[in-house]
Amino acid sequence: MSNPSNLKYTASHEWVKTEADGSITVGITQHAQELLGDMVFVEAPTAGRKLKAKEECAVVESVKAAADVYAPVSGEVLAANSDLDGAPEKINSDPYGAWIYKMKPDNAADVAALLDAAAYQAVVDSEAH
Amino acid sequence: MTLKTTPLNAAHRAMGAKMVDFGGWDMPVNYGSQIDEHHQVRNDVGMFDVCHMRVVDAKGDGVRAFLRYLLANNADKLAASGRALYSAMLRPDGGVIDDLIIYFMTEQWFRIVVNAGTADKDIAWMKEQAAKVAPQLVITSRDDLAMVAVQGPHARTKVWEVLPQTKTATEGLVNFQAADCGEYFVARTGYTGEDGFEVMLPKEKVEAFWYALSKVGVKPIGLGARDTLRLEAGMNLYGQDMDETVGPLESGLGWTVDLKSERDFIGKAALLANPPTRKLAGLVLLDRGVLRGHQKVKTAHGDGEITSGTFSPTLEKSIALARIPNEVQLGDTVQVEIRDKLLNAKVVKYPFARNGKGLI
């Protein structure tokens, strides 16, 4: 599965989608879910929480391990995806559909400055060596 | 550092395994979904590469008497040929050097299977003790042998399909008994809580055996599912649930330690002099989250620690083994520190699941 070109990415393996209203949804990439394996638990941030860029704000746990999810940019949490509470495995089956939380970025320019699909793929490739 | 490989390394890669460094060995952690692999073993049959574990043969006059002294469990419990016994091997101070299985074949030959990470240390210890009390014994690391575990309710049928020549000798085996079938040594043992065989065979034959099992529908299972299966089955993992710094009585292994007989064994005096203050207990998480090794457990009688924790695919809950104060009772609620939160867990009797079914 290739990384969708309409999304932005972080070097810590989050994907970021800009919605029509300027808010962003955040999830973890295909590469990240593959590394972690079967997901069994997601802990998302609560609405209203203020986040700084690169702050730990969510946890995804697979059978194997727990991993932190970081805020791609600074802003405020708008919502968590409660669908994942009972079905964390959606992150495995549909990583780019299973968003973890939604936030309102402080600056749209911060989002624009994140990695594009090709730059993110270069990060993944460099980790493989 | 170059990782050690088993003779099945190429087969794992050909079958799409994700390989990881497991204590210096390049081993398959999963071939696809770890949870699917777990259910595959509970409900049908799967095979595990356990070639990294070490087979040791102890041969000579007085081998039983030597093992009676070397091990915490009593080799005298083994009466019929092929019968197996699980035991801890202790330091003089009672710390656990390793846990292992011994198979009584003849009064001249016991076979011992030890863990991969401790094998060299174990063999050195055995030889050192034998030199003192039984110098006539020959202790041999069988580096020429490979081992495959075939586990699940359909495991034995599948092994007989592939090795029909072993069926007569192995169909009467009870749980924890083995038969020496020439090139194939077939034991009704395992590390999953399911029925099955562990098959020891010449290294050069193991790849063909693996592919033959695959051809009759036996799925390969990685170390990931091996860990969730053994934890559900309430089986200890050396290095996590016990090690040289802790005794068997504080590691849930009291049932394997024979303190009643007159027999002396290495570590006995230390165990008698130091009654346990802690015990290994099962935990089931009541809140949402996943229990993991080294998380702190808070109880009304003092703190404890999780030794192994995971998500149980059979129970669809998080479970753990934890070393906690003796005073904590079954049914008590304790708190586990996970990141910045205290989550509730219930103290339960384990195993958590065996023979295809949850027990909690």
pLDDT surpassing 70 at residue B39: yes
pLDDT of residue A129: 60
Reported as a single tens digit per residue, the pLDDT across B70-102 is 999 999 999 999 999 999 999 999 999 999 999
Structure confidence at residue A80 (pLDDT): 97
pLDDT in tens, chain A (129 residues): 679 999 999 999 999 999 999 999 999 999 999 999 999 999 999 999 999 999 999 999 999 999 999 999 999 999 999 999 999 999 999 999 999 999 999 999 999 999 999 999 999 999 876
Query: What's the whole-number average pLDDT of chain B?
Result: 97
Radius of gyration of chain A (CA): 13
pLDDT of B66 > 90? The answer is yes
- Residue A56 pairs in a beta bridge with A70
Which of A42, A60, A64 is most worth mutating to test chain B (most B CB atoms within 10 A of its CB)?
A64
**Residue B169 has what DSSP assignment?**
H
Handedness of CA B72, B270, B99, B295 (dihedral sign): positive
B residues 5-64 closer than 8 Å to A (CB): 29-30, 33-35
Does A49 reach chain B within 8 Å, measured CB to CB?
A: no
Percentage of chain B beyond pLDDT 90 is: 98
Mean pLDDT of B197-219: 98
The answer to whether B213 touches B171, Cβ cutoff 8 Å, is no
Q: Which domains does chain B have, with CATH numbers?
A: 1-273 (3.30.1360.120), 277-358 (2.40.30.110)
Task: Please report the pLDDT score of residue A128 as a whole number.
Answer: 75
Residue A1, pLDDT score: 62
- Residue B272 sits at the vertex; the CA angle it makes with B268 and B275, to the nearest 5 degrees, is 130
Closest CA to B336 of B277, B285, B279: B285
Minimum distance, in Å, between the CA of residue B289 and any CA atom of chain A = 6
Rounded Cα gap, residues B171 and B157, in angstroms: 9
Count CA atoms closer than 13 A to B40's CA, side-chain side: 21
Task: Give bridge partners of residue A39 from the DSSP assignment.
Answer: A62
Strands (E), B183-241: 184-187, 196-202, 219-220
Query: Where exactly are the structural domains of chain A?
Result: 8-112
CATH code linked to domain A8-112: 2.40.50.100
The SS3 call for residue B110 is strand
Distance from CA of A37 to the nearest CA of B (A): 7
Cα separation of B228 and B239, whole Å? 16
Look at residue B340 in the predicted model and tell me its pLDDT.
86
Q: Give the pLDDT confidence score for residue A2 in this predicted structure.
A: 79
Q: What is the helix (H) or strand (E) element at residue A86, kind and residue range? A: helix A83-86
The arithmetic mean of pLDDT across residues B48-65, rounded, is 98
Q: Which residue of A has its CA nearest to B18?
A: A35
- Torsion over CA: B283, B289, B290, B293 (sign): negative
Within a 13 Å sphere around the CA of B316, how many CA atoms are in the beta-carbon half?
Answer: 5
**Mean pLDDT, residues B312-341 taken together:** 97
Nearest to B34 among A61, A63, A85 (CB): A63
In B245-295 the beta strands, taken as DSSP E runs, fall at: 278-285
Give the model confidence (pLDDT) of B155-176 as tens digits.
999 999 999 999 999 999 999 9
Residue B218 DSSP symbol:
P
ipTM field: 0.89
